């Protein structure tokens, strides 16, 4: 009867794994999008800064003020994406710790099943990224420049497994009330 009283059920566990898989998908997409933006920026910026004077207006100077700044930001973007990736992973653990979600111990099996699915998803994403990363085209060269983010995506099965284990420990091993009952159900 106590199981019915807790309306959270397995929702916290599912949300935890949805956030983890979202982080890997967003990181993968951000790396590819940055590569395309960097290619475009490297092609457009020199052309725009070499235009010279057109109709009495110094277009090169204006382009240096706009495209030059945008190019500088694009070059710093891999570090920002990698920082956001790491902060996202840390946020997930802090979220589990702060919210204090302590599911019923019966949900451990669901947790392990979702952890295995997360690892398989990370292996698939890592293999796709590696196929693109090891190529010889422009996008693969840009991905090879992103050392930190590429490392985190290529080794995402290990990284996500570690975060899933730590998250599981935080969820299932905490005390939920003052009497010292673990799991939130007095078990």
Per-residue model confidence as pLDDT tens digits over 127-137: 999 999 998 88
How many beta carbons lie within 10 A of that of residue 45, not counting itself? 19
Higher pLDDT, 14 or 155: 155
Residue 7 neighbours by CB under 8 Å, 6+ apart: none
pLDDT at 175: 61
Which secondary-structure segment (H or E) carries 58?
strand 57-58
Which secondary-structure segment (H or E) carries 54?
strand 53-54
Please tell me the distance from the alpha carbon of residue 139 to that of residue 133, in angstroms, as a whole number. 8
Please identify which residue in the block is written with the tokens 């945008």.
Answer: 70
Helices (H), 100-186: 108-133, 138-145, 147-154, 156-172
Task: State the Cα angle at 61 between 55 and 62, rounded to 5°.
Answer: 80
pLDDT at 178: 46
Cα torsion angle, 5, 102, 168, 84, sign: positive
Per-residue model confidence as pLDDT tens digits over 122-177: 999 999 999 999 988 888 988 898 889 899 999 999 999 999 999 888 888 876 55
Task: State the Cα angle at 7 between 167 and 118, rounded to 5°.
Answer: 30
Question: 117 is written with which tokens?
Answer: 């699915």
Higher pLDDT, 100 or 116: 116
Q: How far is CA 28 from CA 125, 133, 138, 156, in A?
A: 8, 11, 17, 10
Stretch 104-108: mean pLDDT = 82
Please identify which residue in the block is written with the tokens 């935080």.
Answer: 170
pLDDT averaged over the chain?
82
pLDDT at 86: 93
pLDDT at 69: 80
Q: pLDDT tier at 61 (50, 70, 90 boundaries)?
A: confident
Please identify which residue in the block is written with the tokens 């451990």.
Answer: 108
Please tell me the distance from the alpha carbon of residue 43 to that of residue 32, in angstroms, as a whole number. 17
């Amino acid at each position: 009867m106590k199981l019915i009283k807790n309306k959270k059920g397995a929702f916290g566990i599912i949300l935890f794994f949805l956030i983890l898989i979202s982080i890997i998908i967003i990181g993968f997409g951000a790396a590819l999008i940055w590569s395309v933006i960097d290619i475009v920026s490297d092609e457009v910026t020199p052309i725009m800064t070499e235009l010279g004077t057109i109709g009495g207006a110094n277009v090169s100077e204006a382009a240096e003020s706009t495209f030059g700044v945008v190019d500088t930001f694009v070059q710093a973007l891999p570090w920002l994406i990698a920082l956001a990736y790491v902060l996202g992973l840390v946020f997930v653990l802090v979220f589990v710790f702060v919210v204090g979600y302590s599911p019923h111990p019966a949900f451990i099996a669901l947790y392990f099943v979702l952890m295995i699915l997360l690892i398989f998803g990370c292996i698939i994403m890592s293999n796709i990224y590696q196929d693109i990363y090891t190529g010889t085209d422009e996008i693969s060269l840009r991905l090879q420049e992103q050392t930190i983010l590429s490392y985190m995506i290529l080794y995402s099965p290990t990284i996500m497994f570690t975060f899933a284990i730590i998250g599981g420990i935080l969820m299932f091993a905490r005390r939920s009330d003052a009497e010292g009952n673990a799991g939130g159900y007095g078990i």
